[in-house]
Amino acid sequence: MKIVMIGQKGIPALFGGIERHVEEVSFRLAKNKNYQVSVYTRDYYTSNKIKEYKKIKLIDLPSIKTKHFDAISHVLFSTLHAIFKVKPDIIHYHGVGPALCLWIPKLLYPQAKIIFTFHCRDYFHKKWNGFAQLSLKIGEMIGCYLADEIIVVSLELEEYVLNTYKKKAIFIPNGVSQNDYAPVKLIKKWGLEKNGYILSVNRLIAHKGLQYLIKAYQQIETDKKLVIVGPSFYTEKYEKELKELANNDPNIMFLGGQHGQVLQELFSNSYLFVHPSEQEGLPITVLEAANFGRPILLSDIEAHRIILEDLPFFFRNKNTKNLKENLESLLKNPKLAQKRNEDLKTYVKFHYDWDKIVESIVLKYA
pLDDT at residue 92, as a whole number:
98
Separation CA 120–CA 123 (nearest Å): 9
Q: Where are the domains of the chain?
A: 2-172, 186-351
Q: How many angstroms from the chain centroid is the CA of residue 9?
A: 12
DSSP 8-state secondary structure symbol assigned to residue 85: I
pLDDT at 67: 83
Residue 63, classed as helix, strand or coil, is coil
SS3 62: coil
Question: Residue 16: its pLDDT value, please?
Answer: 84
Residue 122 has a pLDDT of 82
| 186-351 CATH pick, 3.40.50.300, 3.40.50.2000, 3.50.50.60, 3.90.25.10 | 3.40.50.2000
- Distance, in Å, from the CA atom of 310 to the CA atom of 141, rounded to the nearest integer, reads 33
Task: Work out whether the CA dihedral 289, 128, 42, 23 comes out positive or negative.
Answer: positive
Q: What are the mean pLDDT values of the chain's consecutive 10-residue runs (366 residues total)?
A: 97 90 96 96 94 96 91 97 98 97 97 97 78 93 97 94 97 89 96 98 93 98 97 88 96 94 96 95 92 95 93 97 97 93 92 94 93
Residues contacting residue 47 through CB under 8 Å, at least 6 positions apart: none
Helix boundaries (H) for the chain = 17-30, 70-81, 103-108, 130-146, 155-165, 210-218, 236-246, 260-269, 284-291, 302-307, 320-332, 334-338, 341-351, 354-365
SS3 content of the chain, % helix, strand, coil (to 5): 45, 15, 40
Question: Is 186-351 the same fold as 2-172?
Answer: yes
- Look at the domain 2-172 and name its fold: Rossmann fold (3.40.50)
pLDDT in the model for residue 243: 96
What per-residue confidence (pLDDT) applies to 266? 98
